[in-house]
Amino acid sequence: MSAAIEDDKRKVTTHRLKEMKDRGEKISMLTAYDYSMASIIDGAGMDVILVGDSASNVMAGNITTLPMTLDQAIYHGTSVMKAVKRALVVVDMPFGTCSGNPVKSLEAAIRIMKETGADTLKIEGGEEIIEDIKKIIGAGIPVMGHLGLMPQSINKYGTYTVRAKEKEEADKLISDALLLQSVGCYGIVLEKIPAKLAKEITSKLSIPTIGIGAGGYTDGQVLVMHDMLGINKGFSPKFLRRYEDLHTIITKAVQNYIRDIKAKDFPNEQESY
Ligand code: KIV
C-alpha cells in the first residue's frame, strides 16, 4: 500500500486540515446527523463531517435553524460520533447558545464536547461574539468560525440572498475573518458570498476556509447532505450540485414495496420462517 493511502486512513485533525491547505489539497466536508449516514459518509473518505444545525431544516422540518436546541445538537452529535472513525467531526453550536455571555457559552460548549465526544465546534459570528469564542478556545476546544450568510441571523437579514456584495459588509467580513484567526479558530466556513471575496479572504488567512456558495477558491467545500443527494427536491440554489436523485430512487423503492405487499408477493416462501 502506498504511503499516501496509508496516510489517508489516519484520523483527520485540525492540524491535518492546515497541512492540506498548505499543500493545496482541497478539504471535503459534508453534513450528517445520524449513525447510518455518518457511517457511509465516513467510510467513503470524507475529511470533515458537520453535525450542522441544518438538522433543524432537513431532519426536523423547521423553516429555519433557530428552533434547534442544545439537547438536539447533542443527540445528533452523539449518533454521528458512534459511527465515525476517520473524519473530523464538527458540531454546530445552536442558535442562542453562544451569544454574548462567555460563561454560558463555555458551559454549552463543554456539554457538547463531553456528551457527544465530538472533535470540534462550529460557531456563527465574528466580532460580536469574539469574547465567547476566546473563552471556548481558551478551554481547549477547537472552534471553526462561520461568516457570510449566517442562517441563525436570518431574521436580521430577512433574506437568504448572497451576502457582502457591498464594500462595507465585505470589509467587515474580512476583518471578522482575521479576528477569528487571531483568537485561534482553526478554520472558517464562508457561506454564500462572492467568489472574489472568498478568494481574497482565503489568501489572507493561514487557516483553511471552507465554502458553501462561495466559489471555487476556498480551501474546501461543504454541502448539506440531503441537498447534494437530491433528497430535497424543493431547494435548488445556484451553488448546489446534485450528485444523486435519491428522492426519485427512494420513492420508486417504496412504491415497489407497497405494490408487492398489495399483490401478496411479499413476503414469499424464501422470506418466511
Ligand atoms: O448547518 C449547516 O449545515 C451549516 C452548513 C450550511 C455550513 O452550517
Tell the residue number behind the cell numbers 454521528, with chain if given.
80
Per the structure, how many domains does the chain have? 2
Residues 184 and 255 in one domain: no
The SS3 of residue 269 is: helix
Confidence of residue 5 (pLDDT cuts 50, 70, 90): very low
Report the candidate in 91, 160, 173 with the shortest Cα–Cα distance to residue 126. 173
Output the pLDDT for position 162: 97
* Distance in angstroms (rounded) separating the CA atoms of residues 87 and 33: 14
* Rounded mean pLDDT, 169-193: 98
Question: Whole-number mean pLDDT of the chain?
Answer: 96
Q: How many angstroms does the Cα of residue 68 sit away from the middle of ligand 1?
A: 13
The SS3 of residue 127 is: helix
Query: Residue 224: CB within 6 Å of ligand 1?
Result: yes
The pTM of the full predicted model, rounded to 2 decimals, is 0.96
Output the pLDDT for position 9: 85
Per-position DSSP letters for 54-103, written without gaps between them: THHHHTT--SSSTT--HHHHHHHHHHHHHH-SSSEEEEEPPTTSSSS-HH
Residues 6+ apart with CB under 8 A from 107: none
Amino acid at 99: S
Q: How many angstroms does the Cα of residue 224 sit away from the middle of ligand 1?
A: 7
Confidence of residue 38 (pLDDT cuts 50, 70, 90): very high
Among residues 191, 200, 269, 271, the one annotated as catalytic is 191
Residues 238 and 255 in one domain: no
Query: Residue 52: CB within 6 Å of ligand 1?
Result: yes
Output the domain CATH number for residue 101.
3.20.20.60
pLDDT digits (tens, 9 = 90+) for 224-253: 999 999 998 889 999 999 999 999 999 999
Residues 190 and 257 in one domain: no
% of the chain beyond a pLDDT of 90: 95
Output the pLDDT for position 7: 56
Phi-psi region of 27 (alpha: psi -120 to 50; beta: other; left: phi over 0): beta
Residues 7 and 25 in one domain: yes
First to last CA, the chain: 45
Could you give phi then psi for residue 223, rounded to 5 degrees? Answer: -135, 160
* Rounded mean pLDDT, 56-74: 98
| Cell numbers linked to 172 | 467587515
- Asked whether the predicted pLDDT for residue 99 surpasses 50, the reply is yes
Residues 77 and 197 in one domain: yes
Residues 128 and 261 in one domain: no
| Cell numbers linked to 237 | 440554489
Residues 44 and 26 in one domain: yes
% of the chain beyond a pLDDT of 70: 97
Tell me which residue has its CA closest to atom 1 in ligand 1. Answer: 52
Q: Specify the range with the lowest mean pLDDT, choosing from 85-89, 157-161, 247-251.
A: 157-161
Which residues constitute the domain of residue 114?
A: 3-242
Residues 122 and 213 in one domain: yes
Residues 89 and 139 in one domain: yes
Tell me which residue has its CA closest to atom 8 in ligand 1. Answer: 52
Residues 254 and 156 in one domain: no
- Atom number in ligand 1 closest to CA 189: 7
Residues 18 and 109 in one domain: yes
- Are the beta carbons of 66 and 95 closer than 8 angstroms? yes
Query: Residue 89: CB within 6 Å of ligand 1?
Result: no
Report the candidate in 175, 176, 177, 211 with the shortest Cα–Cα distance to residue 194. 211
* Rounded mean pLDDT, 121-139: 98
Tell me which residue has its CA closest to atom 2 in ligand 1. Answer: 52
Is 168 a known active-site residue? no
Residues 77 and 92 in one domain: yes
* Distance in angstroms (rounded) separating the CA atoms of residues 146 and 72: 20
Query: Residue 91: CB within 6 Å of ligand 1?
Result: no
